[in-house]
Structure 1
Amino acid sequence: MSKRRAVVGVMGAGEAATAEGLALAEELGECISSRGWVLLTGGRPAGVMAAASRGAARVEGHLVVGVLPDEGNGEERQSTAVLDLAVFTGMGKARNVINVLSADVVVICGGGGPGTASEAAHAINAGRPLILLAVPPVWRDFFCSLGKGVESASDVEECCRLIEARLRRV
């Protein structure tokens, strides 16, 4: 029986993502896949979710999972084209809890809005390792003050080293 692949959740801004955040997310997705980890995102075709998925899809043997807020019916069915598995929850923003609880490690990439902040808070509440990649200083200071298990990285290589170290402890 083979060992389960580690799942790394990447969360961040959707439509409001910055060019820097998108570039980091794409590089991070590729780094995650190249290490054989599963990438989990919010699955929508926007922002950090789509960029990380694109990066992961460049690696042979990748597995990209998207946990989506809608039911996947008709015109609501909006997912990133490169998903290998789309999980349609019909739960709206409540799906953020599923994103966090399904990940072995959660990475917030470049900051974001209230949804991203809720995912960071859920990770802390659930005791999931949380890595903040190139987030605004106010985010870093706030989330690091809330609990143990929160680390900060300034670039993708440092982030992947932190993920690897956290996965060894899980």
Structure 2
Amino acid sequence: MGPGNPKDSEILKHAEEIGMQIASRKWVLLTGGRKAGVMDAASKGASEAGGEVIGILPGDSHRGMSDFVSIPIVTGVGSARNYINILSSDIVIVCGMGLGTSSEAALAMKHGKPTLFTKVGKSQLDFFQSLTNKKILFFDESDALFEFIEKNLIKD
């Protein structure tokens, strides 16, 4: 999960790397499905690495869909799709921050989904930490992020 219009291009490069890492493990990437920001970059990384990409689209058509989505789900529910994104995910990776992303992160935490933050500012992390007694998990690099996932969240 991440902003559709991040201010920092490094976030997009990082999202693309996350998508590649997900696909390289034969996991399925689920995004907001739009041809914008983090969702498009992660979808591109996963698709180009041969992975499956599910796109949960806000509108009532494929209009504005990322070219890299392999399985589109048209919802017609606008931002309410954030619930679908979170409840359909096993692990939520928050890459960057925006208004929609903040709602997804809060929903993930509320519903007990493993929520991992990357490319998020300290004040934003502090805000989310203030909402929970659990330690907020933050990773600077994708290798450390995926090492944590594989060691702690994936059950054989």
Q: State the TM bucket, normalised to the shorter chain.
A: over 0.9
Query: Any unmatched runs of 5+ in structure 1?
Result: 1-10
Structure 2 counterparts to residues 40-51 of structure 1, below 5 A: 40-51=30-41
Match of 1:92 in 2: 78
Do the aligned residues in 2 keep the contact of 1:127 with 1:149 (CA within 8 Å)? no
Match of 1:65 in 2: 54
Structure 2 counterparts to residues 125-144 of structure 1, below 5 A: 125-144=110-129
Aligned-residue Cα RMSD (Å) equals 1.7
Do the aligned residues in 2 keep the contact of 1:38 with 1:65 (CA within 8 Å)? yes
Match of 1:8 in 2: none
Higher strand share: 1
Match of 1:121 in 2: 106
Structure 2 counterparts to residues 31-46 of structure 1, below 5 A: 31-46=21-36
Displacement of 1:168 after TM fit? Answer: 2.5
**Aligned AA (1:121):** A
Distance 1:97 1:166 in 2: 24
In the alignment of these two chains, the number of paired residues is 155
Percent of pairs identical after alignment?
44
Match of 1:107 in 2: 93
Match of 1:56 in 2: 46
Query: Any unmatched runs of 5+ in structure 2?
Result: none
- Which residue, 75, 79, 84 being the options, matches 2:65? 79
Match of 1:20 in 2: 10
Instruction: State TM-score, norm by structure 2.
Output: 0.92
CA offsets per residue over residues 97-138 of structure 1, 9 Å max, x none?
A: 100010000011022x21100000000110000000121111
Displaced runs of 4 or more, over 4 A? none
Instruction: State TM-score, norm by structure 1.
Output: 0.85
